[in-house]
Structures are given as structure tokens and as C-alpha cells.
Structure 1
Amino acid sequence: MQVIQTAIPEVLIFEPKVFGDARGFFFESFNQKIFDDAVGRYVDFVQDNHSRSSKGVLRGIHYQIQQVQGKLVRVSSGSVFDVAVDLRKSSPTFGRWVGVELSEENQRQLWVPEGFGHGFVVTSERADFLYKTTDFYAPAHERSIRWNDEDLGIQWPDLGQEPLVSAKDALGASFFEAEVFEMDWKK
């Protein structure tokens, strides 16, 4: 598995070696040792999630202010543009974001560490989105930043339509109003 650095050092792309032939394909989708070596610490995943969305659905920018989650995300069917936003106030990359295409073709995965917001928009007709989390879902601690916040300036792909967002996401906070992480997340 190849590990690819992004513009934010803690956010990593994992690209598996895919073995394919006329019968289909095989690849190792997760290896604890390779993952831990890449992130520089042991990471314990406690929950797996699966969502299916149609073209233009945008989910995010989500995070939990307590029971903070790191996420290892991938797409098993279709494609998305996936975004991680640094919400660690003490970080030199605070308020910066990285975006990556995740698809069934490239089989890439994105590591979104604790202290980051996360969102994605579906760029194919439909996408199955899978992710592992380092803590359990805690609705009382979930927060959302508006996907189109001008101060973040995320450059979402042009899909020829307005993104479809939930009512909760449409009411997300602006970046400067949002609760952020005061502590240093280096472990």
C-alpha cells in the first residue's frame, strides 16, 4: 500500500495495490501495521459506517467537539470529492483544507485525523461511502460548518447543479463562529 502526503501533513492518502484480471480484483483495504506506521501511532477504530448518496448530495462539514473522531474513508461504488478541514486552533494549517477524489476506480482512502472537519460531495450518479471511526457517534457533540463558507473557500467541483444538503447542514455555522479544537492533537 502506498502512502501519499497531502498539503496538510497529518491528512494522508492510502492507495492500495490492486490485483485484477478477467475475474475481477483483489486488494488489501486495511492493514493495521502499515496504517499505524504511516500516522506514527496506534489508532483504534471502534465503528464502521456506510452511506449511500445520489449525485450532488453534499454531506458536511461534520465533526464532533467531544468524543472526537478520526476517520478513514473510502468509496466502494461511484465517486466523491472528499474534504478534510483543519480545525485545530494551535495548528499551522488551521482553517486550511485538502480535497481528494475517492472512487471505486482509484480505490484510494483518506485519513482524516482527530481535530478535522470532514465532508464530501457525490460526483457520480450514486456512491457508497465507507468509513471507520476512532470514537463512537455522539449526536450531542456533533457540529457542522457550512459547506460553502467563504472564509474556508473550499473549491467544490462544478456538478452543474446546486448541492443537495440536509436541513442541518444548511444551518451549519460559519467557520469563525464554529467551535474549534483548542488542544494540540499531536499524539
Structure 2
Amino acid sequence: MNLISDVITRSFVTHPDMRGELTEVYRASWGACNAPVQFNLVRSEPGVMRGLHMHRFHADQVMMVSGRALIGLVDYRPDSPTFGVADVVALQDSDQMVAIPVGVAHGFWIPAGGLMLYGLDVEWSTADELQCRWDDPDVHIPWSRYGDPHPADTEGGPLLSARDRAAGTLATMLADFASS
């Protein structure tokens, strides 16, 4: 069960036979969010943190092709019944997907490395990208909920992109979101 309104998780059904298996990962009839118009395949080394990011215009549908990721989520939509609620969804080896709506901040903690596929319902643009530090003291994502190591407890801290290392505060991100 998700704590955040409009965040949808869907378990996949795999159909095995003597040749291998087929797993359906998207059907428009599932209604998770709008149909993706762009797909990205992202490989992460062990100990990678991606985010915290939030989007003005596009929703994401995320799944792990291989490996494990913890998807940290915080609802910053002012009119949402779950405004301010934080949650973590664990994704592993093509078992399920999570749909993340506009205005829900998210970060991807990949403790042991993995391959992620995500679809966007609007093509990516820098104008749509908001971010803050994953460890901002006002962000309270329960990263250790499933027994995985907390990103701050890894030797040297998580591996971050230059953009994520330079990210500003949660307050700045929320002000930018409110002005869009």
C-alpha cells in the first residue's frame, strides 16, 4: 500500500514457457498515468543516489530491469491530501513498477547497482527539472524501511552526479515549484 495519493505500484505478471519468459511492463488500460512518450534506460553503479528530483510537467513510470532500488518519495503537491508525506518503494528485478505523478519529489537509492527503465509522459526538458539535496534536513525519507543501508551510512556517502551534489535546499525547490 502506498502512503502517497496517486503514486501507483503495479506488480508484473510473468508468463514463462520452455523458451524463457515474457513480462508485461506497460498497458494503457492499467491507467497508471499517461502513455509514455520517452523511455530511458539507466545503469547505476553500486552506491548511487539519483535525486532528489521533482517535475513540473511530466510523470514517471519506473521499474528495475535488474538489481534493486529504493524509490524515496515525498508529496509536495499543495492540494494533495497527502502533502508532506514521505514513503519508500522497493523495486527489484522486474517485479513491479511505480508511477510517480507531477509534484512528487523522488530519489533513487541503488545500494548494489542495477539497471532501471523509466518512461516519461512528456519528453524530458531542463525546464521541467527541479531538485534539492537528498539529505536536506527537511526531507524525511525513511530510506532504511526495508533493512537496506541508509545512504548516509555508506563509506564516503552515496555516489552523486555533479548536478545532484550542487543541488540546493528543499525550500528553494518548493519555491521554484510554486512559481511554475
- Equivalent residue for 1:116? 104
**From 58, 68, 80, the counterpart of 1:69:** 58
Q: Report deviation, 1:121.
A: 1.1
Partners in 2 of 1:113 and 1:95 — Cα distance? 14
Partners in 1 of 2:87 and 2:76 — Cα distance? 12
Q: Report deviation, 1:86.
A: 1.2
Q: Report deviation, 1:133.
A: 0.4
- Runs (4 or more) in structure 1 with deviation over 4 Å come to 180-183
Q: Report deviation, 1:182.
A: 4.3
Asked if the contact 1:83–1:100 (Cα under 8 Å) also holds between the matched residues in 2, the reply is yes
1:17 counterpart letter in structure 2: V
Say yes or no: does 1:87 pair with 2:83: no
Say yes or no: does 1:59 pair with 2:46: no
Partners in 2 of 1:23 and 1:89 — Cα distance? 49
**From 120, 124, 149, the counterpart of 1:133:** 120
Partners in 1 of 2:139 and 2:21 — Cα distance? 38
Question: Which has the larger helix fraction?
Answer: 2
Asked if the contact 2:5–2:80 (Cα under 8 Å) also holds between the matched residues in 1, the reply is no
**From 159, 172, 179, the counterpart of 1:177:** 172
2:139 counterpart letter in structure 1: L
Q: Report deviation, 1:23.
A: 4.6
- 1:104-145 CA distance string (max 9 Å, x none): 1x6110010112122101122x21111000111111342211
2:127 counterpart SS class: helix
Partners in 1 of 2:130 and 2:49 — Cα distance? 15
The total of aligned residue pairs comes to 170
The worse-fitting range, judged by mean Cα deviation, of 163-172 and 126-135 is 163-172
Q: Report deviation, 1:21.
A: 5.6
1:154 counterpart SS class: coil
Structure 2: runs of 5 or more not aligned: none
Asked if the contact 2:3–2:85 (Cα under 8 Å) also holds between the matched residues in 1, the reply is no
Query: Percent of counterpart pairs with the same letter?
Result: 29
TM-score, structure 2 length as denominator? Answer: 0.84
Asked if the contact 1:74–1:109 (Cα under 8 Å) also holds between the matched residues in 2, the reply is yes
**From 1, 4, 16, the counterpart of 1:20:** 16
Structure 1: runs of 5 or more not aligned: none
Say yes or no: does 1:45 pair with 2:25: no
Say yes or no: does 1:10 pair with 2:1: no
1:144 counterpart letter in structure 2: Q
